[in-house]
Structure formats: structure tokens, C-alpha cells
Amino acid sequence: MTTTTTDRPLLVLIAGPYRSGTGDDPALLAQNLARLEEASWPVFERGHVPVIGEWVALPVLRSAGATGVTDPLAEQVLYPTAERLLQHCDAVLRLPGESRGADQDVAIARERGLPVYERVEDLPERRVG
């Protein structure tokens, strides 16, 4: 398999389960976020900038006075944040697992013509020098 390369770092949205299958249990939400974050180093190591929608959405939600992901305001913040963030991303890394939000991220990315990767190894490596 030939490794593809790029001259510039890509902004890569890491999409995968966050709320799905958690029953909104804070410990399970934290586990899912940690799983998303585990992919950030390998993305960075390939020369890119990883981003996770919850890194942006959760502080916005807190600053709006919401009590957490079960607050009615969450529906107005979580998915719309990812959609807005995708306007700036160059690619999506879709991690395994059922997730309506991640599936929505992939659909938006494809509508915009962005590549969607299912493995970090498939991301192009950034040429340095």
C-alpha cells in the first residue's frame, strides 16, 4: 500500500461515540471522551491537528448555563457545534461504534466533499522539509 502525503497539516475531526450507549452516565461519558482523545496523538503524530467536537461544545454548553448533556439546551449546542466545526475541517476520522452524532458528522463531511477515514493509518502523512 502506498502512503499518501500532504504538504500542510490537516484539521481532522475525530468522530465517534460520546453519548451513545451511556445512558448519560458521567463515568461512561468520560470513558467515551477518553477513547476519542486516544486517537488525537496518532493524528498529531502523522502531522495533523486533531479536534473533537466535545472539546468545543462542552465549554459552550457550560457557559450557557446548562447543567450537562441532558439539559434541553444540549440539543441546541452539541450537534450544531460539530456542524460549524466541520466548516473548518479538512477531514474526518470516524472511530468504530454506534453514534448518531458521528454518523451525522460523516454525512456532513461527505456532503462537503471532505475525506472520511476509518483508520488513522489511512490519513495522509504530512511531508516535512
CATH number, domain at 30? 3.40.50
Does any domain span residue 128?
no
Largest CA distance in the chain: 49
Whole-Å CA distances, 41 to 23, 45, 72, 113: 28, 6, 33, 25
Whole-Å CA distances, 99 to 21, 48, 64, 90, 127: 9, 24, 25, 21, 33
Does any domain span residue 106?
yes
Does any domain span residue 45?
yes
pLDDT of residue 5: 84
Per-residue pLDDT of the chain (129 residues; tens, 9 = 90+): 456 888 899 999 999 999 999 999 999 999 999 999 999 999 999 999 999 999 999 999 999 999 999 999 999 999 999 999 999 999 999 999 999 999 999 999 999 999 999 999 999 999 875
Does any domain span residue 67?
yes
Alpha carbon distance 122, 116 (integer Å):
10
Closest by Cα among 13, 16, 57 to 36: 16
- At 73, which amino acid appears? L
What residues make up the domain containing 39?
12-121
Does any domain span residue 5?
no
pLDDT of residue 92: 98
Does any domain span residue 40?
yes
As for how many domains the chain has, the answer is 1
Does any domain span residue 38?
yes
Q: Please state the φ and ψ torsions of residue 94, each to the nearest 5 degrees.
A: -95, 110
Does any domain span residue 65?
yes
pLDDT of residue 128: 74
pLDDT of residue 3: 66
| Stated pTM of the model | 0.93
- 118 close to 94: Cβ distance less than 8 angstroms: yes
Whole-Å CA distances, 44 to 13, 36, 87, 121: 12, 13, 20, 12
pLDDT of residue 119: 96
pLDDT of residue 93: 98
